[in-house]
Amino acid sequence: MNSGSDSEIQYVLVTGVTGYIGGRLVPLLLEEGHQVRVLVRDSVRLQGRAWLEQVDVVQGDVLKPDTLDAALAGIDVAYYLIHSMRDGDDFHERDVRAARNFAAAAEHQGVKRIVYLGGLGDSATELSQHLRSRQQTGDALRESVVPVTEFRAGVIVGSGSLSFEMIRYLTERVPIMICPRWVYTRIQPIGIRDTLNYLVSALNNQESAGQIIEIGGAEVITYRDMMFGYARARGLRRYMIPVPVLTPRLSSYWVHWVTPIPGDIARPLIEGLRNEVVVRSDTARKLFPDIKPATFAVAVSRTLEKLEASEVETSWADALVSSQPDQVPTVLSTNEGMILEQRQQFVKASPGTVFRAFTSLGGANGWLYFNWAWYLRGILDRLVGGVGLRRGRRHPADVRVGDALDFWRVEAVERDKLLRLRAEMKVPGLAWLQFKAEPLEDGNTHLIQTAFFAPKGLFGLLYWYILYPLHSLIFSGMIRKLAQRAEDLTA
């Protein structure tokens, strides 16, 4: 992946690892063979990361200078991937102060270089507060003697990217959109894969030190083009009605209600949409000639691949562990285009026994709770041309990847640990049901049951929320019955 010089193994610090870019950068750096340390305010937030055991973790805060020396000691290159997003009067001051603290500590510890991801935009124009703050953060990092490689990007196309997710949710959920003038703003979106490629390649590209490098995709388009391009990729028909006036505040209210993005985050994001964010320099092409950025259509196609089975667990299914073992929390959230409904139960049985309980579901064994509702769903599925419940299961207790299990397909099995089923009944979107058995120190088990749903269009969203009361009743009863079955098996 490196471009511009021979690969050299380095000791790297990554900040912002609980965020979108940082969390995806760490495993790539590990794949390249680098030693990685991460700086995080609360290490509990890293729970469930597949790479956690491969990195050094240091707790600290860029707004608390005395916590930074330990994080930067012995580091060759530090990635600075921190910035504020919520609306407020003091975010700019915090961002600049944090960057100065970090740069001063990096200089004190002899760090060789800082790599920073900022924002595109012509500084000679009237940039939004947040875009200008992103560029001034880069200026603050350059106040120390440590060379800075600053990449500047606009909209990053990827599942989880805030600006892209806003566009995506609006397109998915609103068939007829009333759009302000910013939909005609020119932008140069870049795929997440290309963005990460630049960040990793910079590590051993010494010529990039001290440079401001503008990066973008293969084409300049508008937000309108983005929406229609995404709709085409998803097979959706969408209409837009432009209006001359729609203030950022009014737009943020609309985004707040239609998408999972809160209004105080949406407002500064929308204010930045009036600024053209296009690449004006060919520095990236000269320094990284091997990187050929993808078109928007290709970037969207790659993003939608995240909905494929192999990516579900690694992308957005980190375990949620309650700090109070006597409670059984239920979490309903939206993440990267997925709706997640997660339940937990602490079971007085071994993980192996709990595993046998949930791998025995379906077929003649039934679904433990409200079996009549499952049977009715199977009949309705057959009426609309689906597979229904007729397929049953291959074996009353054993499961393997690829098995049919009523109207589910076994997609992943980890012995004594995990079972993931993918829905093959007719639904307006994609759906999975996952069971996970995590061992506890006392020999018992933390059972996590998660339903995932990726709705297609407005109808998919309505389908989920109309059926949610019934699903909530069925799934809450199911996890209780699973726990009871496992404890009965133990007895």
What percent of the chain stands above pLDDT 90? 40
Side-chain half-sphere exposure of 208, counting CA atoms within 13 A? 32
SS3 281: coil
Q: Return the pLDDT at 85.
A: 60
Q: Return the pLDDT at 328.
A: 42
Average pLDDT, the chain: 83
Dmax over CA atoms of the chain, in Å, equals: 74
**Of 294-303, 389-398, 423-432, 456-465, minimum mean pLDDT range:** 389-398
345 residue type, one letter = Q
42 CB burial (10 A radius; 0-12, 13-18, 19+): exposed
Write the DSSP string, 303-334.
Answer: HHGGGSHHHHHHHH------SSTT---EEEEE
Q: For residues 210 and 148, is the Cβ–Cβ distance under 8 A?
A: yes
Q: For residues 121 and 127, is the Cβ–Cβ distance under 8 A?
A: yes
Q: Return the pLDDT at 262.
A: 63
**Of 113-122, 225-234, 311-320, 323-332, minimum mean pLDDT range:** 311-320
Report CA torsion sign: 82, 87, 93, 94: negative
Model confidence band, residue 307 (pLDDT cutoffs 50, 70, 90): low
* Residue-wise pLDDT tens digits, 188-204: 999 999 999 999 999 98
Q: Return the pLDDT at 258.
A: 66
Span 395-408, average pLDDT? 84
Q: Return the pLDDT at 191.
A: 92
* Residue 323 confidence (pLDDT) above 60: no
Alpha-carbon distance 336 to 288, whole Å? 30
479 residue type, one letter = I
182 residue type, one letter = W
List the structure tokens of 148. Answer: 């800075």
Model confidence band, residue 257 (pLDDT cutoffs 50, 70, 90): low
Helix residue ranges per DSSP H, 8-149: 20-31, 69-72, 91-108, 129-141
* Residue-wise pLDDT tens digits, 36-88: 999 998 886 676 678 889 999 999 999 999 999 999 999 999 999 988 765 45
Span 289-314, average pLDDT? 73
* Residue 268 confidence (pLDDT) above 90: no
* Residue-wise pLDDT tens digits, 53-65: 999 999 999 999 9
Own/partner long-range contacts of 65-69 (Cβ < 8 Å, ≥24 apart): 65/101, 65/104, 65/105, 68/39, 68/101, 68/102, 68/105, 69/105, 69/108, 69/109
* Residue-wise pLDDT tens digits, 343-398: 888 999 999 999 999 999 988 888 988 888 888 888 888 788 777 776 678 788 88
Alpha-carbon distance 72 to 11, whole Å? 10
Alpha-carbon distance 334 to 343, whole Å? 15
Alpha-carbon distance 24 to 315, whole Å? 9
Model confidence band, residue 273 (pLDDT cutoffs 50, 70, 90): confident
Q: What is the CA angle 370-375-379, rounded to 5?
A: 150
pTM: 0.69
Side-chain half-sphere exposure of 241, counting CA atoms within 13 A? 5
Residue (of 406, 459, 415) closest to 433 by Cα position: 406
Q: For residues 227 and 233, is the Cβ–Cβ distance under 8 A?
A: no
Span 26-30, average pLDDT? 94
* Residue-wise pLDDT tens digits, 449-458: 999 888 887 7
- CA 354 and chain centroid, separation: 29
* Residue 19 confidence (pLDDT) above 50: yes
Q: What is the CA radius of gyration of the chain?
A: 24
Span 451-478, average pLDDT? 86
Q: Return the pLDDT at 341.
A: 86
Q: Return the pLDDT at 5.
A: 45
For the ranges 201-215, 234-248, 403-417, the maximum mean pLDDT occurs at 201-215
Looking at per-residue pLDDT, the higher value among 23 and 254 belongs to: 23
Q: Return the pLDDT at 338.
A: 72
- Contacts of residue 440, defined as CB under 8 A and 6 or more positions apart, other chains included, come to 346, 446
Q: Return the pLDDT at 17.
A: 87
All domains of the chain in start order, with CATH? 11-300 (3.40.50.720), 326-490 (3.30.530.20)
Q: For residues 185 and 122, is the Cβ–Cβ distance under 8 A?
A: no
Measure Cα distances from 203 to 4, 146, 208, 274 in Å. 10, 14, 9, 33
**Of 136-140, 278-282, 422-426, minimum mean pLDDT range:** 422-426
